[in-house]
Amino acid sequence: MSFEKPTDTPERSAFYKAIEPEGLSALWAVMGNIITPTPKSPCVPHIWRYDSIRARLLEASGLITAKEAERRVLILENPGMRGQSKITTSLYCGVQLVMPGEVAPAHRHSQSALRFVLESSGAQTVVGGERTEMRMGDFIITPHWQWHDHGNDSDQPIFWLDVLDIPIVQFFDASFAEGTGADQQKLLRSEGDSLARYGANMLPLGYEKHTPASPIFNYPYDRSRAALEAMRHQNEWDPCHGLRMRYINPVNGDWAMPSIGTTLQLLPKGFDTQAYRSTDATGFVAVEGRGHSIVAGQRIDWGPRDVFIVPSWHEVTHHPAEDSVLFAFSDRPIQEKLGLHREQRGNH
Ligand code: GTQ
């Protein structure tokens, strides 16, 4: 099976031209481009260095306030898709800076967001009426259409990674957004309420509210990291992933967010992973440690807080030079729901 474009003849070319004004085109001339035997993507492997992003954001803080910008964010644009505000074909990613004393005003939108905190001395976000402190490594979700505002009461700048399903909502032409006009929304619950209510391996008796996103909205790094540390003593390593855990919605065991799947993985020093590829293009954040990964033959050296991309169906191996922790995100939950997700272990 090739789906190769049949050769052009003067008659065929004339025919294609003739049907064009009628809103028609010939499938056989394009079939190989739209139904490919294996994934073809404009998304390319790439790494963004945290130090450079950080420096550029501080430079931006001299140009615009968080309030005037609404969100002071530098978008991590995939080099294969410049101008499209995408880090992969389906996901948006940026790094946000809130300076001491600043606020990013309350708003809400159809897009779902996650924050992964890169550098913090204590700042806060409010999601759906509950405040949470944002600490290094915390995985925080803003489910779609929930009010959210951010602020920084500390004396140091805070930097975090934003990942949103913007391209997916764009694809469906389903975007709505609104502001309150206020800097901060009203607090409706006390801090820590969600984690106490849903994050202690219990649920309120009679709990039936099944929203697509997890009712927990801050998964603190100290808990996730401690879990990985405790499990390493068992010495059971996945050859492709080391020790890799996914963040879940405790109500049903599904991914924490309906559109973006997230994991945290521990790779001990010198653990060279076996080749792996999957249909979900994946973004990695090197939280701790350093090392390199080989993505479809290309070497990517990473250190703390760097962000790198492994595109769909690109074989990857990781080579940690130190004990390393990687946070990862992809559109896997959607691919699974559509029956599209595929993975392969080992070299091909
Ligand atoms: O913090 O609400 O990077 O609305 C892009 C859009 C962050 C946010 C982004 C947003 C936000």
- Confidence band, pLDDT 50/70/90 cuts, at residue 182: confident
Look at residue 4 in the predicted model and tell me its pLDDT.
Answer: 82
**Is 283 within 8 Å of 91 (Cβ atoms)?**
yes
Q: What is the pLDDT of residues 289-306, one digit of tens each?
A: 999 999 999 999 999 999
Q: What is the pLDDT of residues 50-61, one digit of tens each?
A: 999 999 999 999
**Is 279 within 8 Å of 334 (Cβ atoms)?**
no
**Is 332 within 8 Å of 261 (Cβ atoms)?**
yes
* Ligand 1 atom at minimum distance from 75 CA: 3
Q: Which CB contacts under 8 angstroms, 24+ apart, belong to 55-60?
A: 57/95, 57/97, 57/159, 58/97, 58/157, 60/97
> Is the pLDDT score of 1 beyond 70?
no
Strand partners, 278: 343
> Is the pLDDT score of 2 beyond 70?
no
The mean pLDDT value for 72-87 works out to 98
Rg (CA), the chain: 22
Protein residues with CB under 6 Å of any ligand 1 atom: 71, 73, 94, 96, 109, 113, 148, 162, 164
> Is the pLDDT score of 238 beyond 80?
yes
Percent of the chain having pLDDT more than 70?
A: 99
- Confidence band, pLDDT 50/70/90 cuts, at residue 211: confident
**Is 59 within 8 Å of 51 (Cβ atoms)?**
no
Whether pTM exceeds 0.85: yes
Number of other CB atoms surrounding residue 327 within 10 Å = 24
CA geometry: angle at 280 spanning 278 and 281, to 5°? 105
> Is the pLDDT score of 326 beyond 70?
yes
Percent of the chain having pLDDT more than 90?
A: 95
Measure the N-to-C terminal CA separation of the chain; round to a whole number of Å: 20
The mean pLDDT value for 35-40 works out to 96
d(CA 183, CA 136): 24
In Å, the largest CA–CA distance within the chain is 73
**What residues contact 305, with CB distance under 8 A and at least 6 apart?**
50, 118, 119, 285, 286, 287
The mean pLDDT value for 73-98 works out to 98
Residue whose CA is at the smallest distance from ligand 1 atom 6 = 71
> Is the pLDDT score of 177 beyond 80?
yes
For residue 344, report the distance from its CA to the centre of ligand 1, in Å: 34
The mean pLDDT value for 78-92 works out to 98
Q: What is the pLDDT of residues 109-151, one digit of tens each?
A: 999 999 999 999 999 999 999 999 999 999 999 999 999 999 9
Residue whose CA is at the smallest distance from ligand 1 atom 8 = 71
Sign of the CA dihedral running 174, 180, 181, 187: negative
Residue whose CA is at the smallest distance from ligand 1 atom 9 = 162
> Is the pLDDT score of 43 beyond 70?
yes
Look at residue 210 in the predicted model and tell me its pLDDT.
Answer: 76
The mean pLDDT value for 213-222 works out to 97
Choosing from 96, 112, 165 the residue with most ligand 1 atoms within 8 A of its CB, the one to mutate for a pocket test is 96
Q: Whole-number mean pLDDT of the chain?
A: 96
